[in-house]
Chains A and B, each alone.
Chain A
Amino acid sequence: MSDIRLRNVRKVYPGAAEATIPGLSLDIGAGELCVLVGPSGCGKSTLLRMVAGLEEVTDGEINIAGRQVNDLEPARRDISMVFQNYALYPHMTVHGNMAYGLKNRGMPKAEIAEKVGTAARMLGLADYLDRKPRQLSGGQRQRVAMGRAIVREPAAFLFDEPLSNLDAKLRVKTRVEIRDLQQRLGTTSIYVTHDQQEAMTLADTLVVMNAGRVEQIGPPMEIYARPASLFVAGFIGSPPMNVLAPGTGAALATAAGIERAAGHAVVGVRPEDLRAQPGGPLAVTVRVVERLGATANVHGVLDDGASEVIASLSGTDLPGPGEVMHLGVNPADLHLFDHASGQRLECAGA
């Protein structure tokens, strides 16, 4: 087991006017699964590829297992990577794909066969070793890519959106398998995704990125419970947090007994924290009701006519479109953010 340490890592693509990553530090503990999440183009892949050695580091230092790797070739960094489109060698069999990296390291044939066999059994690929990638389903190909990564027993796994080519159901199943495998092997991992649900469920440590910067680092539940900024609040959680402008939010805050922020704070409240409350402080005209089974998302407009609100409600007596519904919230579940900077204001509702 080994850890990964990034120190002021900077990346400026040649010819680019601005830094894609202006300077980022991150510590990933041994055996941890760290998920990088953020909107498209925020630099997640860039960061991962710098750790892999596929992209040059403009500035700063990358350590893997206590060794500075900035100038090492990818093959000598003791990492393996799973690509979004798997990047399997189309002309090699499943066995050949998994064995190639070992062969290049000069491992004896018998040992390769044993390691590939073990990995194949672990991934349920034992019957497919002689097939070519094109003779496999998408899910099987994904597992071959995983197999290629684990046979090498590297110090770290790097995943770049490894599930985005699978259908929704398989994605959930494979997500669990990846988590299980990673825990059993105890290999330090970095996992890139832009799916916040995948990020929440997989991560030991969640890193929310925005425009090349870290917005917040922490255990996923902590980030969910106490988002450090409006950006994080909007990105983590689905449906996203309701954000009420200072004037509109004031009623809610006052009703909750929070005087301090009432005038100038943006108030955030998660859809799942809202509940139906006759005479509650939020009067919402319902527009659409989405029934998801256990819960339903009620979309509506506040009586100021502008703010959209989503409430995630359970129960059966849901309002119909056009009806006015009153909602309330537990004061402890309010999030306050500074109007200008978007940063979290502490001691909300406490």
Chain B
Amino acid sequence: MVERRPLLLFIQHAVLIFGAAVFVFPIYLAFIASTHTAREVNSGLPLLPGGQMFDNYATVLGEGLSTAGAPPIGLMLMNSTIMALAITLGKLVISLLSSFAIVYFKFPFRVLAFWTIFITLMLPVEVRILPTYEVVAQLGMLNSYAGLSVPLIASATATFLFRQFFMTVPDELTEAARIDGAGPMKFFRDILVPLSRTNIAALFVILFIYGWNQYLWPLLVTTDESYYTIVMGIQRMVNAGEETPQWHLIMTTAILALVPPVVVILGMQRLFVRGLVEVEK
């Protein structure tokens, strides 16, 4: 237990508040910048909100930044969402099924299969980027949602976690289900997946953010503007050739790019907090 000494308490709080401030301050600055005009932002960043908020957001959402060489924000937000969701759902479905197979079925080369999956942990997309690019190009998947998401789906993080979880599910539950006439897929759907709900929610958040933040891979496989993602878009706005970057609009875009991950976290958090509280004694 932590002792209740005033000085200690003060130091603890100071450290925590300082830490929180360090994290929040850049976001605050971005928000402030998104409420001013270009001139105000460029002549030294103000610390208090300005009156340009609605104009800026309307501009970014409505007209886009065609001058900055990026497609409209709405499209990029949608592309990012589609890519992140495809990666998240794809990884969840594949890893649930593959860990189900590895834990509950005996088949030849089961151990080999497990180790093969395990090894992909060491090969994130950045490591295998050239061969993967070659494969995707050969398959004609450049400039497509499939090209954006499929190569990122193939990795083992979630498989590994689900395998560990499935191994903790008591054998008696499996046996009770067998006696109750549940075949393997029914057992999977009716019992394993609902029991994994907490894990699924937590992984959904982690994987969604992983997918949302992808930068290098989308940059490689898309040349068609209509497949640009928001993270790429922001980057392109900053490097907008000879023009001065329009910081107020860039920051507006950045704030908008925060929204979907935050929505996902808030939505899922309720689910997995409830899951944690409900956990079987």
Report which A residues bind B (CB closer than 8 A): 52-54, 73-75, 79-81, 83-85, 87-91, 100-101, 104-105, 132-134, 148
Contacts and interface: CB of A to CB of B under 8 A. Distances in A.
Given A101-B181, A134-B281, A87 B194 contact: no
A104 B280 CA distance: 25
Contacts of A88: 176
Contacts of A83: 172, 175-176
Given A91-B194, A134-B278, 13 more contacts: A52-B175, A75-B179, A75-B181, A85-B170, A89-B176, A89-B191, A90-B280, A91-B197, A100-B190, A133-B280, A134-B281, A148-B176, A148-B180
Contacts of B110: none
Given A90-B280, A91-B195, A75 B172 contact: no
Question: Which interface residue of B173, B176, B194 has the most chain A CB atoms within 10 A?
Answer: B176
B178 interface: yes
B243 to A, nearest CB: 57
Q: Most B CB atoms within 10 A — which of A73, A80, A87? A: A87
21 contacts: A53-B179, A54-B175, A75-B179, A79-B179, A81-B179, A83-B176, A84-B172, A87-B172, A87-B176, A89-B177, A90-B195, A91-B191, A91-B197, A100-B177, A101-B180, A104-B180, A132-B278, A133-B280, A134-B278, A134-B281, A148-B176
Contacts of A73: 178
Contacts of A87: 170, 172-173, 175-176
B182 A104 contact: yes
A85 B169 CA distance: 13
Given A87-B170, A87-B172, A52 B195 contact: no
A89 B176 CA distance: 9
Contacts of A100: 177, 180, 182, 190
Interface of B: 170, 172-173, 175-182, 186, 190-191, 194-195, 197, 278, 280-281
Contacts of A104: 180-182, 186
A141 to B, nearest CB: 11
Contacts of A85: 170, 172
Contacts of A79: 179
Contacts of B190: 89, 100
Contacts of B175: 52, 54, 74, 81, 83, 87
Nearest to A55: B175
A87 B176 CA distance: 7
Q: Which 6 pairs, one residue from A and one from B, show the smallest C-beta to C-beta distance?
A: A75-B181, A87-B172, A101-B180, A104-B181, A87-B176, A91-B194
Contacts of B179: 52-54, 74-75, 79-81, 101
A93 B280 CA distance: 13
Contacts of A133: 280
A81 B280 contact: no
Nearest to A89: B191
B222 to A, nearest CB: 42
A77 to B, nearest CB: 8
Nearest to B174: A87
Nearest to B169: A90
